[in-house]
Amino acid sequence: MQALFFLRSRSALLDALEASVDDSAVKPSTLIAILALAYLAPCVPLRSQAIAPAQIALINGYQPIWWKEAVVYQVYPRSFKDSNGDGIGDIPGITSKLDYLQKLGVNVIWLSPHYDSPNADNGYDIRDYRKVMAEFGTMADFDAMLAGIKQRHMRLIIDLVVNHTSDEHHWFVESRKSKENPYRDYYFWRDGKPGPAGPDGKPTTLPPNNDPSFFSGSAWQFDPATSQYYLHYFAVKQPDLNWDNPKVREEVYSLMRFWLDKGVDGFRMDVIPLISKNPAFPDLTPDQLHNYGNAYANGPHMHDYLQEMNRNVMAKYDVMTVGEALGISLEQTPLIVGDNRRELNMIFNFDAIRSNRDGIKLKPFDLATIKSIYTRHSEVLGKHDWDTVFLSNHDNPRLVSTFGDDSPEFRIPSAKLLATMLLTLRGTPFLYQGDELGMTNYPFKNIADFDDIEVKNAYKAQVLTGKIPEETFIANLRHTSRDNSRTPMQWDTSANGGFTTAPKPWLAENPNYAEINAASEVADPNSIYNYTSKLIALRRAHQVFVYGDYKDLDPENKSIFIYTRALGAERYLVALNFSSGPVAYTLPASVKVNSLIMSNLDTTGLVTGTLNLAGWEARIYKLR
Ligand code: NOJ
């Protein structure tokens, strides 16, 4: 442990105590001090973002806080574990696997939406924010899961999807009834533009502007009940909420309090930069149409609304918030995550995860590009900001298939290498379910293999209209579809990988479950799972991996990623060979390695000025 610092809540103090028990170097006096503070600390949650900096001993200039030290694991509930044999993952299924997660060592779970939903977009279309999706279980099941998480000293953040609701949410059911309905202004309703005469000679209308939907077609849907259009940036069944209406904002704050009062520890906020819109809805320019996500983000009141949300909700609880920052550039990030801004703690920036993508097409991976992204992040996000680090989630293909090499020869080392990188870089790491097993992309063959609304709509808009040949479309999506990461977790070698006892899961299990599954990996000391677990323990035991400075030693190198993390006298070197061939890498004379801490290939402590790295080898050294 670096030094005793003033923590903000009893649970944080107890976490520190737990960590210090494993730390043989900690002094008995420090332990006593932590214990005393733990019992003197107020039981009520303290204001999360309103701590006077003077009270806190900074670490390398950073204000220490639990969510900076966390390792987050994302659970996509539909695909995690089915407990009742209906082919769909559920909450009791998650509860049954908490020991597995605890053993892995992650300490925050991000749960993708668990709310009542007609599932047009797998739960990202919410019908009732205070109800659990029936397929996932009951509120009692949720409470039991939360209690199980807390018992294991882990925390839970849930998905907050409030840019839009389901069209089956009662606010929208009311809103569409009439122009006078009290809920009318909960959403955006506009008249269409006059269109050409129809075949019957009657006038037609066109959408109010040229905004496209992320899920193909116009972002406006005509509604015959009132002959107006409503806005939906995503599916037709996902109408956008009107945040300019103070009642909408109050509703959102109130539902947030509902879940925080239950004990959840924060939120991952879905497409949060889209909440503020220009109510005039001007047409997008041809330039803006190339990247309309950017045009939709950063609306005129986005910061006001986030600050109001923080004042009204987050500041009253000890929470972690991470925004899905579609359309926010790195340069704009401090305006959301800066300590003094009182908005969100962190955001997801997609520069790295999408660095090898061009729409639905995978581009060759360029290591120098991704390294320059991480370096830029370390330059732009300073001591008063905080970053996230991730290369997978439920909207992207599998980690090892996209950034590693999922061939039989290199799947295991490359999955371990990627884990080494994610868990030693700067920022709170987010792992996605199955990464710890090295789960791979699915061998999609035809459109019937997909479930995702984004794919189905794009198929209609691009393949059925003859714009893209079917084979090209499927060949691209085999590498980039979101469904790659949504196939069920592979628990064991039994039918359907032990995910369900139903004859068929909601989305087919990857056929490679006999080879890649949790049961065999938990039992194998050399598995990706056990290697990841060791890395997590290393990160959690050494604050240098959290608060330490980051330096890329060889930014131009196309196959080797070599960097240091340094905190005072504690310095580590991470060397990653992102190629399948061996590389003899000569260290700069100034870098003096002391001892090998970890390697993904059982290298035996070779400490010389030249690192002979095998294909996809990863090593962590302590430096002198
Ligand atoms: C982002 C979510 O991650 C994605 O899964 C969803 O389809 C859209 N937002 C719409 O909610």
Q: Is the pLDDT of residue 16 over 60?
A: no
Q: Is the pLDDT of residue 298 over 50?
A: yes
Closest ligand 1 atom, CA of 453?
7
564 — phi, psi (to 5°)?
-115, 150
Residue 79's pLDDT is what? Answer: 98
Q: Is the pLDDT of residue 65 over 60?
A: yes
Residue 13's pLDDT is what? Answer: 40
Give SS3 for 212.
strand
Q: What string of DSSP letters covers 431-471?
A: EETTGGGT-------SGGG---HHHHHHIIIIITTTSS-HH
Listed in sequence order, the residues at least 6 apart from 54 whose beta carbon sits closer than 8 Å to its beta carbon are none
pTM: 0.92
The percent of residues above 70 in pLDDT, for the chain, comes to: 91
Residue 609's pLDDT is what? Answer: 86
Distance CA(31)–CA(310), nearest Å, equals 34
Distance CA(305)–CA(311), nearest Å, equals 10
Residue 608's pLDDT is what? Answer: 73
Q: Is the pLDDT of residue 27 over 50?
A: no
**How do residues 51-62 score in pLDDT, each as one tens digit?**
444 567 999 999
Closest ligand 1 atom, CA of 393?
3
Q: Is the pLDDT of residue 489 over 60?
A: yes
Residue 452 CB less than 6 A away from ligand 1:
no
Q: Is the dihedral of CA 145, 146, 152, 156 positive or negative?
A: positive
Pocket test for ligand 1, best of 216, 234, 268, 350 (most atoms within 8 A of CB): 234
Strands 189-190 and 320-324: what pairing? unpaired
Distance CA(561)–CA(554), nearest Å, equals 7
Q: Is residue 30 very low, low, confident or very high in pLDDT (cuts 50, 70, 90)?
A: very low
Q: Which of 211, 324, 451, 454 is catalytic?
A: 324
Distance CA(449)–CA(442), nearest Å, equals 10
Q: In the block, which residue shows the tokens 């209690």?
A: 147
Closest ligand 1 atom, CA of 234?
10
User: If you take atom 11 of ligand 1, which residue's CA is the nearest one?
Assistant: 124
To the query of whether residue 18 is one of the catalytic residues in this protein, the response is no
Task: State in Å: Cα 234 to ligand 1 middle.
Answer: 8
The percent of residues above 90 in pLDDT, for the chain, comes to: 89
- Is-contact 207 233, C-beta < 8 A? no
Residue 124 CB less than 6 A away from ligand 1:
yes
Distance CA(324)–CA(274), nearest Å, equals 10
User: If you take atom 5 of ligand 1, which residue's CA is the nearest one?
Assistant: 395
Task: State in Å: Cα 194 to ligand 1 middle.
Answer: 32
Residue 270 CB less than 6 A away from ligand 1:
yes
Task: State in Å: Cα 426 to ligand 1 middle.
Answer: 26
Task: State in Å: Cα 433 to ligand 1 middle.
Answer: 17
Strands (E), 44-169: 72-75, 108-111, 115-116, 128-132, 155-160
Q: In the block, which residue shows the tokens 């009132």?
A: 226
Task: State in Å: Cα 152 to ligand 1 middle.
Answer: 29
Residue 606's pLDDT is what? Answer: 62
Residue 375's pLDDT is what? Answer: 98
**How do residues 514-540 score in pLDDT, each as one tens digit?**
999 999 999 999 999 999 999 999 999
Residue 56's pLDDT is what? Answer: 77
- Is-contact 618 415, C-beta < 8 A? no
Q: Which of 121, 270, 406, 435 is catalytic?
A: 270
Distance CA(160)–CA(589), nearest Å, equals 50
Q: Is the pLDDT of residue 48 over 70?
A: no
Task: State in Å: Cα 101 to ligand 1 middle.
Answer: 25
Half-sphere exposure for 208 (CA within 13 Å, toward CB): 19
Q: Is residue 570 very low, low, confident or very high in pLDDT (cuts 50, 70, 90)?
A: very high
- Is-contact 431 106, C-beta < 8 A? yes
Q: Is the pLDDT of residue 148 over 70?
A: yes
Closest ligand 1 atom, CA of 125?
11
Q: Is the pLDDT of residue 599 over 60?
A: yes
Listed in sequence order, the residues at least 6 apart from 567 whose beta carbon sits closer than 8 Å to its beta carbon are 2, 59, 60, 543, 544, 547, 548, 549
Q: What string of DSSP letters covers 26-47?
A: --HHHHHHHHHHHHHS-SSPPP
To the query of whether residue 324 is one of the catalytic residues in this protein, the response is yes
Task: State in Å: Cα 518 to ligand 1 middle.
Answer: 27
- Is-contact 164 234, C-beta < 8 A? yes
Residue 348 CB less than 6 A away from ligand 1:
no
Across 488-517, b (16+ Cβ under 10 Å) vs e yields: bbbbbeeebbbbbeeeebbbbbbebbeebb
Q: What is the mean pLDDT of residues 193-201?
A: 92
Per mean pLDDT, which range of 6-20, 319-333, 470-484 is the poorest? 6-20
Task: State in Å: Cα 270 to ligand 1 middle.
Answer: 6
Q: For residue 220, give the H/E element and its range.
A: strand 220-223
Q: What is the mean pLDDT of residues 81-109?
A: 98
Task: State in Å: Cα 476 to ligand 1 middle.
Answer: 20
Q: Name the H helices within 270-342.
A: 286-290, 292-296, 302-312, 334-337
Task: State in Å: Cα 528 to ligand 1 middle.
Answer: 29
Per mean pLDDT, which range of 3-7, 79-83, 197-201 is the poorest? 3-7
Q: In the block, which residue shows the tokens 């109130």?
A: 254
Closest ligand 1 atom, CA of 215?
7
380 — phi, psi (to 5°)?
-85, -35
Residue 28's pLDDT is what? Answer: 43
Residue 111's pLDDT is what? Answer: 99
Residue 483 CB less than 6 A away from ligand 1:
no
Q: Is residue 156 very low, low, confident or very high in pLDDT (cuts 50, 70, 90)?
A: very high
Residue 271 CB less than 6 A away from ligand 1:
yes
Pocket test for ligand 1, best of 354, 395, 432, 452 (most atoms within 8 A of CB): 395
List Cα–Cα distances, 101 to 59, 327, 379, 491, 606, in angstroms: 28, 32, 33, 13, 33
Residue 554 CB less than 6 A away from ligand 1:
no
Pocket test for ligand 1, best of 125, 270, 354, 486 (most atoms within 8 A of CB): 270
- Is-contact 580 616, C-beta < 8 A? yes
Q: In the block, which residue shows the tokens 């008063």?
A: 384
Residue 121 CB less than 6 A away from ligand 1:
yes
Q: Is residue 212 very low, low, confident or very high in pLDDT (cuts 50, 70, 90)?
A: very high
What length is written for the chain? 624
Residue 240 CB less than 6 A away from ligand 1:
no
Q: Is 286 exposed, middle or buried (0-12, 13-18, 19+ CB in 10 A)?
A: exposed
Listed in sequence order, the residues at least 6 apart from 210 whose beta carbon sits closer than 8 Å to its beta carbon are 218, 283, 284, 289
Closest ligand 1 atom, CA of 233?
10
Q: What average pLDDT is seen over the chain? A: 92
Residue 20's pLDDT is what? Answer: 41
Half-sphere exposure for 475 (CA within 13 Å, toward CB): 5
User: Cα angle vertex 10, ends 9, 16, to 5°?
Assistant: 95
Q: In the block, which residue shows the tokens 């190339």?
A: 290
Q: Is the pLDDT of residue 14 over 50?
A: no
- Is-contact 603 611, C-beta < 8 A? no
Residue 234 CB less than 6 A away from ligand 1:
yes
- Is-contact 69 391, C-beta < 8 A? no
Q: Is the pLDDT of residue 328 over 80?
A: yes
> In one letter, which amino acid is 3?
A
Closest ligand 1 atom, CA of 161?
11
Max CA distance (Å), the chain: 88
- Is-contact 267 242, C-beta < 8 A? no
User: If you take atom 2 of ligand 1, which residue's CA is the nearest one?
Assistant: 270
Closest ligand 1 atom, CA of 121?
7
In 3D space, the residue among 551, 515, 548, 518 whose CA is nearest the CA of residue 533 turns out to be: 518
Distance CA(472)–CA(483), nearest Å, equals 17
Half-sphere exposure for 172 (CA within 13 Å, toward CB): 25
- Rounded (10°) CA dihedral 485, 488, 492, 496: -130
Residue 603's pLDDT is what? Answer: 77
